[in-house]
Structure 1
Amino acid sequence: MNEENKLNYLGEKQEELRFSGTFYAAKGNEILEGSSGFANRSEKIDNQLNTRFAIASGCKIFTSVAICILVEAGKISFKSRLKDCLDIDFPYFDKNITIHHLLTHTSGVHDYFNEEIMDDFELLWKSRPVYQIRSPKDFLPMFQYERMQAPISSSFQYNNTGYILLGLIVEQVAKCSFSEFVEEQIFHKAGMRNSGYFEIDRLPEMTALGYIDDSEGNWKTNIYSLPAKGGPDGGAYVTAEDMFRFWEALTNHQLLSKEMTQTLLKPREAVAAEDDIYYGYCGYMELDDDERVVKFIQMGYDPGVNFRAVYYPDTKTTIVVCSNESEGAYELLKEIENII
Protein backbone atom coordinates (compact mmCIF):
# COMPACT_ATOMS: atom_id res chain seq x y z
CA MET A 1 0.00 0.00 0.00
CA ASN A 2 1.55 3.32 -1.06
CA GLU A 3 1.42 6.50 1.01
CA GLU A 4 -1.60 7.93 -0.81
CA ASN A 5 -3.59 4.74 -0.30
CA LYS A 6 -2.60 4.61 3.36
CA LEU A 7 -3.83 8.16 3.90
CA ASN A 8 -7.07 7.42 2.07
CA TYR A 9 -7.54 4.32 4.22
CA LEU A 10 -6.90 6.29 7.42
CA GLY A 11 -9.28 8.99 6.24
CA GLU A 12 -12.01 6.37 5.90
CA LYS A 13 -11.18 4.96 9.34
CA GLN A 14 -11.35 8.42 10.95
CA GLU A 15 -14.81 8.87 9.48
CA GLU A 16 -15.88 5.37 10.54
CA LEU A 17 -14.63 5.94 14.08
CA ARG A 18 -16.02 9.50 14.12
CA PHE A 19 -12.56 10.44 15.30
CA SER A 20 -11.89 13.97 16.50
CA GLY A 21 -8.21 14.82 16.72
CA THR A 22 -4.87 14.55 14.96
CA PHE A 23 -2.37 11.81 14.20
CA TYR A 24 1.29 11.77 13.21
CA ALA A 25 3.27 8.66 12.28
CA ALA A 26 6.88 8.46 11.14
CA LYS A 27 8.93 5.46 10.01
CA GLY A 28 12.16 6.29 8.24
CA ASN A 29 11.35 8.78 5.50
CA GLU A 30 7.67 7.89 5.53
CA ILE A 31 5.36 10.31 7.35
CA LEU A 32 1.61 9.92 7.68
CA GLU A 33 -0.42 12.69 9.27
CA GLY A 34 -4.00 13.83 9.33
CA SER A 35 -6.76 15.41 11.36
CA SER A 36 -10.54 15.39 11.61
CA GLY A 37 -13.35 16.69 13.79
CA PHE A 38 -13.69 20.04 15.50
CA ALA A 39 -11.30 21.82 17.86
CA ASN A 40 -14.28 24.03 18.72
CA ARG A 41 -17.72 22.56 18.04
CA SER A 42 -19.68 25.74 18.70
CA GLU A 43 -17.72 27.76 16.15
CA LYS A 44 -17.14 24.73 13.86
CA ILE A 45 -13.37 25.27 13.89
CA ASP A 46 -11.62 22.21 12.47
CA ASN A 47 -8.82 20.30 14.13
CA GLN A 48 -5.63 20.85 12.14
CA LEU A 49 -2.20 19.22 11.99
CA ASN A 50 -0.78 21.85 14.35
CA THR A 51 -3.69 21.91 16.81
CA ARG A 52 -2.62 21.50 20.44
CA PHE A 53 -4.28 18.81 22.54
CA ALA A 54 -4.29 17.95 26.22
CA ILE A 55 -2.70 14.52 26.78
CA ALA A 56 -3.56 13.74 30.43
CA SER A 57 -1.18 11.12 31.88
CA GLY A 58 0.64 10.87 28.56
CA CYS A 59 3.00 13.50 29.93
CA LYS A 60 4.16 11.60 33.04
CA ILE A 61 7.27 10.84 31.00
CA PHE A 62 8.15 14.56 31.10
CA THR A 63 8.18 14.37 34.90
CA SER A 64 10.45 11.32 34.75
CA VAL A 65 12.86 13.06 32.37
CA ALA A 66 12.89 16.12 34.66
CA ILE A 67 13.89 13.91 37.59
CA CYS A 68 16.61 12.26 35.48
CA ILE A 69 18.00 15.69 34.56
CA LEU A 70 18.33 16.53 38.27
CA VAL A 71 19.91 13.11 39.01
CA GLU A 72 22.46 13.69 36.25
CA ALA A 73 23.21 17.09 37.75
CA GLY A 74 24.03 15.35 41.05
CA LYS A 75 21.30 17.17 42.97
CA ILE A 76 19.31 14.02 43.87
CA SER A 77 19.55 10.29 43.24
CA PHE A 78 17.01 7.58 42.54
CA LYS A 79 17.72 6.31 46.05
CA SER A 80 16.98 9.70 47.64
CA ARG A 81 14.20 9.44 50.19
CA LEU A 82 11.06 11.52 49.86
CA LYS A 83 11.44 12.86 53.41
CA ASP A 84 14.93 14.15 52.55
CA CYS A 85 13.82 15.84 49.34
CA LEU A 86 10.82 17.85 50.52
CA ASP A 87 10.28 20.29 53.37
CA ILE A 88 6.68 19.07 53.65
CA ASP A 89 5.37 16.79 56.38
CA PHE A 90 3.59 13.57 55.43
CA PRO A 91 2.93 12.07 58.87
CA TYR A 92 1.50 8.74 57.67
CA PHE A 93 3.84 8.02 54.76
CA ASP A 94 6.57 5.38 55.05
CA LYS A 95 9.86 7.17 55.81
CA ASN A 96 11.75 4.90 53.39
CA ILE A 97 9.90 5.92 50.23
CA THR A 98 12.45 6.82 47.56
CA ILE A 99 12.32 8.57 44.20
CA HIS A 100 12.64 5.12 42.61
CA HIS A 101 9.43 4.01 44.34
CA LEU A 102 7.58 7.10 43.15
CA LEU A 103 8.75 6.68 39.56
CA THR A 104 7.75 3.02 39.41
CA HIS A 105 4.37 3.30 41.19
CA THR A 106 5.55 1.10 44.06
CA SER A 107 5.51 3.72 46.86
CA GLY A 108 2.13 2.66 48.28
CA VAL A 109 1.15 6.27 49.05
CA HIS A 110 -2.52 7.25 49.02
CA ASP A 111 -3.52 7.97 45.43
CA TYR A 112 -5.81 10.98 45.23
CA PHE A 113 -7.33 9.37 42.13
CA ASN A 114 -7.15 5.61 42.59
CA GLU A 115 -8.21 4.22 39.23
CA GLU A 116 -8.83 0.77 40.72
CA ILE A 117 -11.58 2.24 42.92
CA MET A 118 -13.05 5.04 40.80
CA ASP A 119 -13.15 5.58 37.06
CA ASP A 120 -14.58 9.08 36.74
CA PHE A 121 -11.98 11.81 37.22
CA GLU A 122 -14.76 14.39 37.09
CA LEU A 123 -16.14 13.21 40.46
CA LEU A 124 -13.07 14.58 42.26
CA TRP A 125 -14.18 18.13 41.58
CA LYS A 126 -17.77 17.93 42.81
CA SER A 127 -16.78 19.50 46.14
CA ARG A 128 -13.40 20.97 45.21
CA PRO A 129 -13.16 23.98 42.85
CA VAL A 130 -11.08 23.03 39.82
CA TYR A 131 -10.11 26.66 39.26
CA GLN A 132 -8.00 26.52 42.45
CA ILE A 133 -5.83 23.62 41.20
CA ARG A 134 -3.00 25.33 39.30
CA SER A 135 0.24 23.97 40.81
CA PRO A 136 1.51 20.74 42.43
CA LYS A 137 1.11 22.11 45.96
CA ASP A 138 -2.60 22.67 45.31
CA PHE A 139 -3.06 18.87 45.34
CA LEU A 140 -1.62 18.46 48.86
CA PRO A 141 -4.98 18.60 50.74
CA MET A 142 -6.05 15.56 48.72
CA PHE A 143 -3.38 13.23 50.14
CA GLN A 144 -0.98 14.90 52.61
CA TYR A 145 -2.63 13.51 55.75
CA GLU A 146 -3.90 10.24 54.29
CA ARG A 147 -2.52 6.85 55.29
CA MET A 148 -0.63 4.52 52.98
CA GLN A 149 -2.86 2.51 50.67
CA ALA A 150 -0.34 -0.35 50.34
CA PRO A 151 3.02 -1.39 51.86
CA ILE A 152 6.06 0.16 50.22
CA SER A 153 7.53 -1.98 47.39
CA SER A 154 4.61 -4.44 47.60
CA SER A 155 3.64 -4.35 43.92
CA PHE A 156 3.04 -2.08 40.94
CA GLN A 157 -0.09 0.01 41.52
CA TYR A 158 -0.59 2.97 39.21
CA ASN A 159 -0.38 6.08 41.37
CA ASN A 160 -1.00 9.71 40.39
CA THR A 161 -0.01 11.10 43.79
CA GLY A 162 3.50 9.69 43.32
CA TYR A 163 3.99 11.94 40.31
CA ILE A 164 2.64 15.01 42.11
CA LEU A 165 5.30 14.31 44.75
CA LEU A 166 7.97 14.04 42.04
CA GLY A 167 6.87 17.42 40.69
CA LEU A 168 7.15 18.95 44.16
CA ILE A 169 10.68 17.55 44.38
CA VAL A 170 11.55 19.15 41.03
CA GLU A 171 10.27 22.50 42.27
CA GLN A 172 12.21 22.38 45.55
CA VAL A 173 15.46 21.18 44.00
CA ALA A 174 15.37 23.33 40.86
CA LYS A 175 13.96 26.37 42.71
CA CYS A 176 11.41 27.17 40.01
CA SER A 177 7.91 26.05 39.08
CA PHE A 178 7.51 22.55 37.69
CA SER A 179 6.00 23.78 34.42
CA GLU A 180 8.83 26.29 33.89
CA PHE A 181 11.43 23.57 34.41
CA VAL A 182 9.84 21.16 31.92
CA GLU A 183 9.18 23.83 29.32
CA GLU A 184 12.78 25.10 29.48
CA GLN A 185 14.70 21.86 29.99
CA ILE A 186 12.59 19.53 27.82
CA PHE A 187 10.19 21.29 25.46
CA HIS A 188 12.65 24.01 24.43
CA LYS A 189 15.56 21.60 23.96
CA ALA A 190 13.43 19.14 21.98
CA GLY A 191 12.06 21.84 19.67
CA MET A 192 8.51 21.34 20.97
CA ARG A 193 7.59 24.91 20.11
CA ASN A 194 3.83 24.47 20.38
CA SER A 195 3.68 22.58 23.68
CA GLY A 196 3.17 23.81 27.21
CA TYR A 197 1.32 23.56 30.52
CA PHE A 198 -1.52 25.91 29.67
CA GLU A 199 -4.35 26.98 31.95
CA ILE A 200 -7.69 25.71 30.72
CA ASP A 201 -9.31 29.13 31.19
CA ARG A 202 -6.43 30.86 29.33
CA LEU A 203 -5.77 28.60 26.36
CA PRO A 204 -3.60 29.95 23.52
CA GLU A 205 -4.61 29.88 19.87
CA MET A 206 -4.79 26.58 17.99
CA THR A 207 -5.77 24.64 21.14
CA ALA A 208 -8.60 22.12 21.02
CA LEU A 209 -11.35 22.22 23.61
CA GLY A 210 -12.10 18.84 25.19
CA TYR A 211 -15.61 17.42 24.72
CA ILE A 212 -17.67 15.02 26.82
CA ASP A 213 -20.62 13.28 25.16
CA ASP A 214 -23.47 11.54 26.96
CA SER A 215 -25.64 8.61 25.86
CA GLU A 216 -28.44 10.94 24.78
CA GLY A 217 -26.34 12.82 22.26
CA ASN A 218 -25.68 15.88 24.40
CA TRP A 219 -22.23 17.32 24.94
CA LYS A 220 -20.28 19.76 27.08
CA THR A 221 -16.70 20.97 27.28
CA ASN A 222 -14.42 19.62 30.02
CA ILE A 223 -13.53 22.98 31.55
CA TYR A 224 -15.17 21.99 34.87
CA SER A 225 -13.87 18.41 34.73
CA LEU A 226 -10.10 18.94 35.01
CA PRO A 227 -7.68 20.98 37.14
CA ALA A 228 -7.29 24.49 35.78
CA LYS A 229 -3.64 23.73 34.99
CA GLY A 230 -1.99 20.39 34.45
CA GLY A 231 1.18 19.33 36.18
CA PRO A 232 3.46 16.43 37.09
CA ASP A 233 0.85 13.68 36.83
CA GLY A 234 -0.76 14.92 33.62
CA GLY A 235 -2.30 17.80 31.72
CA ALA A 236 0.29 19.23 29.32
CA TYR A 237 -0.82 20.33 25.86
CA VAL A 238 1.11 19.19 22.79
CA THR A 239 0.81 18.84 19.05
CA ALA A 240 1.13 15.35 17.61
CA GLU A 241 4.30 16.35 15.75
CA ASP A 242 5.82 17.80 18.92
CA MET A 243 5.52 14.37 20.57
CA PHE A 244 7.44 12.94 17.61
CA ARG A 245 10.10 15.61 18.24
CA PHE A 246 10.22 14.59 21.90
CA TRP A 247 11.03 10.96 21.06
CA GLU A 248 13.59 12.11 18.48
CA ALA A 249 15.33 14.33 21.05
CA LEU A 250 15.18 11.68 23.77
CA THR A 251 16.57 8.83 21.68
CA ASN A 252 19.24 11.07 20.14
CA HIS A 253 20.40 11.99 23.67
CA GLN A 254 19.58 15.68 23.38
CA LEU A 255 17.79 15.64 26.75
CA LEU A 256 19.85 13.12 28.72
CA SER A 257 23.17 11.32 28.32
CA LYS A 258 23.17 7.93 26.62
CA GLU A 259 23.64 6.18 29.96
CA MET A 260 20.82 8.08 31.66
CA THR A 261 18.53 7.55 28.66
CA GLN A 262 19.11 3.80 29.01
CA THR A 263 18.27 4.08 32.71
CA LEU A 264 15.04 5.90 31.84
CA LEU A 265 14.01 3.32 29.25
CA LYS A 266 14.90 0.19 31.23
CA PRO A 267 12.04 -2.22 32.17
CA ARG A 268 11.47 -2.25 35.94
CA GLU A 269 8.13 -3.55 37.17
CA ALA A 270 5.90 -6.25 35.70
CA VAL A 271 2.34 -5.03 35.32
CA ALA A 272 -0.16 -7.38 36.97
CA ALA A 273 -2.30 -9.49 34.61
CA GLU A 274 -0.19 -8.41 31.61
CA ASP A 275 2.55 -10.96 30.96
CA ASP A 276 4.41 -8.93 28.34
CA ILE A 277 3.79 -5.40 29.68
CA TYR A 278 6.32 -3.77 32.01
CA TYR A 279 6.74 -0.35 33.56
CA GLY A 280 9.93 1.70 33.74
CA TYR A 281 10.82 5.25 34.66
CA CYS A 282 9.56 6.22 31.17
CA GLY A 283 6.19 4.48 31.45
CA TYR A 284 4.73 1.33 29.92
CA MET A 285 6.55 -0.93 27.47
CA GLU A 286 5.91 -4.23 25.71
CA LEU A 287 8.59 -6.92 25.84
CA ASP A 288 9.12 -9.94 23.58
CA ASP A 289 10.00 -13.48 24.68
CA ASP A 290 13.68 -12.51 24.92
CA GLU A 291 12.75 -9.64 27.26
CA ARG A 292 13.69 -7.02 24.68
CA VAL A 293 11.53 -3.92 24.37
CA VAL A 294 9.25 -4.14 21.34
CA LYS A 295 7.63 -0.75 21.89
CA PHE A 296 7.25 2.02 24.43
CA ILE A 297 3.68 3.03 25.17
CA GLN A 298 2.21 6.34 26.31
CA MET A 299 -1.44 6.74 27.16
CA GLY A 300 -3.62 9.43 28.66
CA TYR A 301 -7.29 9.50 29.57
CA ASP A 302 -9.33 12.31 31.10
CA PRO A 303 -12.88 13.48 30.50
CA GLY A 304 -12.69 14.95 26.99
CA VAL A 305 -9.07 13.82 26.53
CA ASN A 306 -7.76 10.68 24.82
CA PHE A 307 -4.10 10.19 23.89
CA ARG A 308 -2.02 7.27 22.69
CA ALA A 309 1.54 7.10 21.39
CA VAL A 310 4.04 4.32 20.71
CA TYR A 311 7.72 4.24 19.86
CA TYR A 312 9.32 1.14 18.30
CA PRO A 313 13.08 1.27 19.05
CA ASP A 314 14.17 -1.29 16.45
CA THR A 315 12.67 0.58 13.50
CA LYS A 316 12.60 4.03 15.13
CA THR A 317 8.89 4.23 14.35
CA THR A 318 6.78 6.80 16.20
CA ILE A 319 2.99 6.95 16.13
CA VAL A 320 1.08 9.67 17.99
CA VAL A 321 -2.70 10.07 18.19
CA CYS A 322 -4.31 12.98 20.06
CA SER A 323 -8.06 13.34 20.53
CA ASN A 324 -10.24 16.00 22.17
CA GLU A 325 -12.92 13.44 23.00
CA SER A 326 -12.94 10.70 25.62
CA GLU A 327 -12.46 7.85 23.14
CA GLY A 328 -10.99 7.04 19.73
CA ALA A 329 -7.22 7.43 20.01
CA TYR A 330 -6.45 3.77 20.73
CA GLU A 331 -8.64 2.49 17.90
CA LEU A 332 -7.02 4.80 15.34
CA LEU A 333 -3.52 4.00 16.62
CA LYS A 334 -4.15 0.28 16.04
CA GLU A 335 -5.21 1.01 12.45
CA ILE A 336 -2.01 2.99 11.86
CA GLU A 337 0.11 0.24 13.43
CA ASN A 338 -1.47 -2.29 11.08
CA ILE A 339 -0.49 -0.43 7.91
CA ILE A 340 2.83 1.16 8.83
Structure 2
Amino acid sequence: MLGDDLPLVADDVTVEHLLAHRSGIRDYLDEDALGDVSDYVMPVPVHELATTEQFLRVLGPCDAVFPAGERFAYNNGGYVLLALLAERASGVGFHELVRSRVCEPAGMVDTGFLRSDELPGSAARGYLAVDGLRTNVLHLPVLGNGDGGIYSTAADLTAFWDALLAGRIVSPERVAQMLQPRSVWAEGSRRYGLGFHLGGTTDRVWLEGHDAGVSFVSQHLPSSSTTYTVISNWSEGAWPVVDLLD
Protein backbone atom coordinates (compact mmCIF):
# COMPACT_ATOMS: atom_id res chain seq x y z
CA MET A 1 0.00 0.00 0.00
CA LEU A 2 2.86 2.40 0.76
CA GLY A 3 5.05 1.27 -2.12
CA ASP A 4 8.41 3.02 -1.85
CA ASP A 5 7.01 5.70 0.49
CA LEU A 6 8.03 5.69 4.18
CA PRO A 7 10.39 2.70 3.91
CA LEU A 8 11.41 3.04 7.56
CA VAL A 9 7.95 2.09 8.85
CA ALA A 10 8.57 -1.36 10.34
CA ASP A 11 7.07 -4.29 8.47
CA ASP A 12 5.27 -5.54 11.58
CA VAL A 13 3.34 -2.29 12.18
CA THR A 14 -0.38 -3.01 11.65
CA VAL A 15 -3.42 -0.81 11.19
CA GLU A 16 -4.52 -1.81 14.69
CA HIS A 17 -1.17 -0.66 16.09
CA LEU A 18 -1.68 2.73 14.43
CA LEU A 19 -5.27 3.06 15.65
CA ALA A 20 -4.25 2.17 19.21
CA HIS A 21 -1.19 4.48 19.29
CA ARG A 22 1.01 1.43 19.78
CA SER A 23 2.88 1.46 16.45
CA GLY A 24 6.22 2.59 17.86
CA ILE A 25 6.97 4.76 14.80
CA ARG A 26 8.54 8.19 15.22
CA ASP A 27 5.97 11.00 15.25
CA TYR A 28 6.36 13.95 12.90
CA LEU A 29 5.93 16.21 15.94
CA ASP A 30 7.38 15.00 19.23
CA GLU A 31 4.84 16.27 21.76
CA ASP A 32 7.17 15.51 24.65
CA ALA A 33 9.72 17.92 23.17
CA LEU A 34 7.30 20.72 22.36
CA GLY A 35 7.24 23.95 24.33
CA ASP A 36 4.24 26.24 24.49
CA VAL A 37 1.24 25.23 22.38
CA SER A 38 1.46 28.58 20.57
CA ASP A 39 5.04 27.96 19.35
CA TYR A 40 5.59 27.76 15.60
CA VAL A 41 6.52 24.09 15.21
CA MET A 42 5.40 22.89 11.78
CA PRO A 43 8.46 21.70 9.83
CA VAL A 44 7.19 23.03 6.47
CA PRO A 45 5.05 26.05 5.51
CA VAL A 46 1.52 25.23 6.65
CA HIS A 47 -0.06 26.14 3.31
CA GLU A 48 1.83 23.21 1.77
CA LEU A 49 -0.16 20.72 3.89
CA ALA A 50 -3.53 20.67 2.15
CA THR A 51 -3.66 17.03 0.98
CA THR A 52 -2.76 13.76 2.64
CA GLU A 53 -0.04 13.03 0.08
CA GLN A 54 1.61 16.36 0.93
CA PHE A 55 2.19 15.07 4.47
CA LEU A 56 4.67 12.50 3.16
CA ARG A 57 7.46 15.08 3.35
CA VAL A 58 6.89 15.57 7.09
CA LEU A 59 6.00 11.99 8.04
CA GLY A 60 9.47 10.63 7.29
CA PRO A 61 11.55 9.05 8.55
CA CYS A 62 8.96 7.18 10.68
CA ASP A 63 11.66 4.86 11.95
CA ALA A 64 10.97 2.75 15.04
CA VAL A 65 11.24 4.39 18.46
CA PHE A 66 10.17 1.14 20.15
CA PRO A 67 8.89 -2.24 18.89
CA ALA A 68 5.34 -2.29 17.56
CA GLY A 69 2.83 -3.22 20.26
CA GLU A 70 5.21 -2.67 23.17
CA ARG A 71 3.40 0.30 24.72
CA PHE A 72 1.09 3.26 24.24
CA ALA A 73 2.54 6.51 22.84
CA TYR A 74 0.21 9.16 21.41
CA ASN A 75 1.18 9.66 17.79
CA ASN A 76 -0.31 12.24 15.41
CA GLY A 77 1.72 10.95 12.48
CA GLY A 78 0.21 7.50 12.85
CA TYR A 79 -3.23 8.92 12.16
CA VAL A 80 -2.04 10.79 9.07
CA LEU A 81 -0.56 7.48 7.92
CA LEU A 82 -3.96 5.85 8.50
CA ALA A 83 -5.58 8.56 6.34
CA LEU A 84 -3.03 7.85 3.61
CA LEU A 85 -3.72 4.11 3.77
CA ALA A 86 -7.48 4.73 3.62
CA GLU A 87 -7.08 6.93 0.56
CA ARG A 88 -4.92 4.44 -1.29
CA ALA A 89 -7.10 1.46 -0.39
CA SER A 90 -10.34 3.17 -1.44
CA GLY A 91 -9.18 5.46 -4.24
CA VAL A 92 -11.13 8.25 -2.52
CA GLY A 93 -9.65 11.32 -0.82
CA PHE A 94 -9.61 11.29 2.97
CA HIS A 95 -11.78 14.38 3.38
CA GLU A 96 -14.42 12.89 1.08
CA LEU A 97 -14.25 9.58 2.96
CA VAL A 98 -15.00 11.36 6.24
CA ARG A 99 -17.89 13.24 4.65
CA SER A 100 -19.49 10.21 2.99
CA ARG A 101 -18.69 7.50 5.57
CA VAL A 102 -19.13 9.46 8.82
CA CYS A 103 -20.80 12.85 8.48
CA GLU A 104 -23.60 11.90 6.09
CA PRO A 105 -24.71 8.69 7.88
CA ALA A 106 -24.66 10.55 11.20
CA GLY A 107 -26.53 13.59 9.90
CA MET A 108 -23.65 15.90 10.85
CA VAL A 109 -24.72 18.81 8.66
CA ASP A 110 -22.31 21.38 10.13
CA THR A 111 -19.11 19.31 10.16
CA GLY A 112 -16.30 19.26 7.63
CA PHE A 113 -12.69 20.02 6.83
CA LEU A 114 -12.28 23.72 6.02
CA ARG A 115 -9.21 25.65 4.94
CA SER A 116 -8.17 27.97 7.75
CA ASP A 117 -7.29 30.71 5.26
CA GLU A 118 -10.76 30.86 3.70
CA LEU A 119 -13.21 30.18 6.54
CA PRO A 120 -16.89 30.92 5.96
CA GLY A 121 -18.60 33.41 8.24
CA SER A 122 -20.20 30.61 10.27
CA ALA A 123 -16.83 29.16 11.35
CA ALA A 124 -14.95 30.41 14.42
CA ARG A 125 -11.32 31.34 13.99
CA GLY A 126 -8.89 29.86 16.49
CA TYR A 127 -7.08 32.31 18.79
CA LEU A 128 -3.82 31.64 20.58
CA ALA A 129 -4.90 33.28 23.85
CA VAL A 130 -8.03 34.51 25.56
CA ASP A 131 -6.73 38.07 25.08
CA GLY A 132 -5.56 39.42 21.73
CA LEU A 133 -6.46 38.76 18.11
CA ARG A 134 -3.59 36.54 16.92
CA THR A 135 -5.06 33.49 15.21
CA ASN A 136 -3.67 30.00 14.65
CA VAL A 137 -3.62 30.26 10.85
CA LEU A 138 0.20 30.02 10.73
CA HIS A 139 0.45 27.25 13.34
CA LEU A 140 -1.51 24.33 11.90
CA PRO A 141 -1.86 22.64 8.49
CA VAL A 142 -4.07 24.81 6.32
CA LEU A 143 -6.43 21.85 5.94
CA GLY A 144 -6.84 19.26 8.66
CA ASN A 145 -6.17 15.58 8.11
CA GLY A 146 -6.18 12.23 9.89
CA ASP A 147 -4.75 13.64 13.11
CA GLY A 148 -7.32 16.41 13.53
CA GLY A 149 -8.51 19.75 12.27
CA ILE A 150 -12.16 19.16 11.40
CA TYR A 151 -14.73 21.88 12.13
CA SER A 152 -17.91 20.87 13.94
CA THR A 153 -20.59 21.85 16.46
CA ALA A 154 -21.79 20.49 19.78
CA ALA A 155 -25.06 19.40 18.18
CA ASP A 156 -23.24 17.48 15.47
CA LEU A 157 -21.10 15.69 18.05
CA THR A 158 -24.27 14.50 19.80
CA ALA A 159 -25.46 13.21 16.43
CA PHE A 160 -22.10 11.47 15.99
CA TRP A 161 -22.36 9.54 19.27
CA ASP A 162 -25.94 8.53 18.51
CA ALA A 163 -25.04 7.28 15.04
CA LEU A 164 -21.85 5.52 16.12
CA LEU A 165 -23.44 3.57 18.95
CA ALA A 166 -26.49 2.73 16.82
CA GLY A 167 -24.25 1.12 14.20
CA ARG A 168 -24.98 3.64 11.41
CA ILE A 169 -21.30 4.48 10.80
CA VAL A 170 -19.70 1.07 11.31
CA SER A 171 -21.24 -2.18 12.48
CA PRO A 172 -21.96 -2.73 16.21
CA GLU A 173 -19.29 -5.45 16.15
CA ARG A 174 -16.73 -2.90 14.94
CA VAL A 175 -17.84 -0.40 17.58
CA ALA A 176 -17.30 -3.03 20.27
CA GLN A 177 -13.79 -3.65 18.94
CA MET A 178 -13.04 0.10 18.94
CA LEU A 179 -14.16 0.47 22.55
CA GLN A 180 -12.18 -2.52 23.82
CA PRO A 181 -9.24 -1.23 25.93
CA ARG A 182 -5.81 -1.75 24.39
CA SER A 183 -3.79 0.35 26.84
CA VAL A 184 -3.94 1.69 30.39
CA TRP A 185 -2.20 5.02 30.93
CA ALA A 186 -2.24 8.27 32.90
CA GLU A 187 -1.67 6.35 36.14
CA GLY A 188 -4.66 4.12 35.52
CA SER A 189 -7.18 6.96 35.30
CA ARG A 190 -7.81 6.32 31.62
CA ARG A 191 -7.53 3.62 29.02
CA TYR A 192 -7.39 3.74 25.22
CA GLY A 193 -9.14 1.65 22.60
CA LEU A 194 -8.99 2.21 18.84
CA GLY A 195 -9.35 5.95 18.35
CA PHE A 196 -11.18 6.54 21.62
CA HIS A 197 -10.22 7.44 25.17
CA LEU A 198 -11.90 5.24 27.78
CA GLY A 199 -12.49 5.69 31.49
CA GLY A 200 -10.20 3.84 33.83
CA THR A 201 -13.01 2.19 35.79
CA THR A 202 -16.17 3.61 34.19
CA ASP A 203 -17.92 3.21 30.85
CA ARG A 204 -17.22 6.76 29.71
CA VAL A 205 -15.76 7.17 26.23
CA TRP A 206 -14.50 10.39 24.73
CA LEU A 207 -12.64 12.27 22.06
CA GLU A 208 -10.40 15.23 22.81
CA GLY A 209 -8.15 17.62 20.97
CA HIS A 210 -5.72 20.38 21.91
CA ASP A 211 -3.57 22.55 19.70
CA ALA A 212 -2.79 26.17 18.97
CA GLY A 213 -6.12 27.98 18.94
CA VAL A 214 -8.38 25.05 19.74
CA SER A 215 -9.35 22.81 22.66
CA PHE A 216 -12.13 20.25 22.63
CA VAL A 217 -13.69 17.33 24.49
CA SER A 218 -16.76 15.29 23.59
CA GLN A 219 -17.68 12.62 26.13
CA HIS A 220 -20.42 10.01 26.22
CA LEU A 221 -21.53 7.81 29.12
CA PRO A 222 -23.58 4.89 27.75
CA SER A 223 -24.83 3.86 31.20
CA SER A 224 -26.69 7.15 31.65
CA SER A 225 -27.11 8.12 27.98
CA THR A 226 -25.33 11.37 28.79
CA THR A 227 -23.27 13.35 26.31
CA TYR A 228 -21.39 16.58 26.75
CA THR A 229 -19.26 18.44 24.25
CA VAL A 230 -17.08 21.47 24.91
CA ILE A 231 -15.50 23.28 21.96
CA SER A 232 -13.29 26.34 22.42
CA ASN A 233 -11.61 28.52 19.82
CA TRP A 234 -8.63 29.30 22.00
CA SER A 235 -5.90 26.98 23.13
CA GLU A 236 -6.89 26.45 26.78
CA GLY A 237 -10.54 27.48 26.77
CA ALA A 238 -12.22 24.09 27.05
CA TRP A 239 -10.52 22.73 30.14
CA PRO A 240 -12.18 24.83 32.90
CA VAL A 241 -15.62 23.90 31.58
CA VAL A 242 -14.64 20.24 31.17
CA ASP A 243 -13.36 20.16 34.77
CA LEU A 244 -16.64 21.63 35.98
CA LEU A 245 -18.71 19.08 34.06
CA ASP A 246 -16.53 16.20 35.23
| Bigger RCO (CA 8 Å, 6+ sep) | 1
Bigger strand fraction? 1
Residue segments in structure 2 that go unaligned for 5+ positions in a row: none
> Is 1:123 paired with 2:40?
yes
> Is 1:95 paired with 2:11?
yes
How do 1:11-26 and structure 2 match up within 5 A? Answer: none
How do 1:119-268 and structure 2 match up within 5 A? Answer: 119-120=35-36, 122-125=39-42, 128-213=44-129, 218-268=132-182
Contact 1:276/1:286, CA 8 A, preserved across alignment: yes
Q: Cα gap change, 1:249/1:176 in structure 2, threshold over 3 Å: closer, same or farther?
A: same
**Cα offset for 1:120?**
4.3
1:304 to 182, 188, 213: 213
Q: Cα gap change, 1:88/1:182 in structure 2, threshold over 3 Å: closer, same or farther?
A: farther
**Cα offset for 1:118?**
1.3
Q: Partners of 1:120 and 1:164 in 2: how far apart?
A: 23
Aligned counterpart, 2:237: 328
Pick which of 190-199 and 148-157 moved more: 148-157
Q: Partners of 1:196 and 1:311 in 2: how far apart?
A: 21
* TM-score of the two chains, using structure 1 as the length reference: 0.69
Aligned counterpart, 2:190: 277
- The one-letter code of the counterpart of 2:80 is I
Contact 1:111/1:149, CA 8 A, preserved across alignment: no
**Cα offset for 1:140?**
1.3
Aligned counterpart, 1:8: none
- CA RMSD, aligned part only? 1.7
**Cα offset for 1:174?**
1.1
Q: Partners of 2:40 and 2:45 in 1: how far apart?
A: 11
**Cα offset for 1:222?**
1.0
SS at match of 1:221: coil
CA distances 1:4-47 after superposition (whole Å, capped 9, x unpaired)? xxxxxxxxxxxxxxxxxxxxxxxxxxxxxxxxxxxxxxxxxxxx
Greater radius of gyration (CA): 1
- The one-letter code of the counterpart of 2:197 is Y
- The one-letter code of the counterpart of 1:223 is V
Residue segments in structure 1 that go unaligned for 5+ positions in a row: 1-84
SS at match of 1:301: strand
Q: Partners of 1:249 and 1:146 in 2: how far apart?
A: 34
**Identical-pair percentage:** 33
**Cα offset for 1:167?**
0.2
SS at match of 1:322: strand
Q: How many residues align?
A: 245
* TM-score of the two chains, using structure 2 as the length reference: 0.93
How do 1:53-64 and structure 2 match up within 5 A? Answer: none
Q: Partners of 2:40 and 2:179 in 1: how far apart?
A: 34
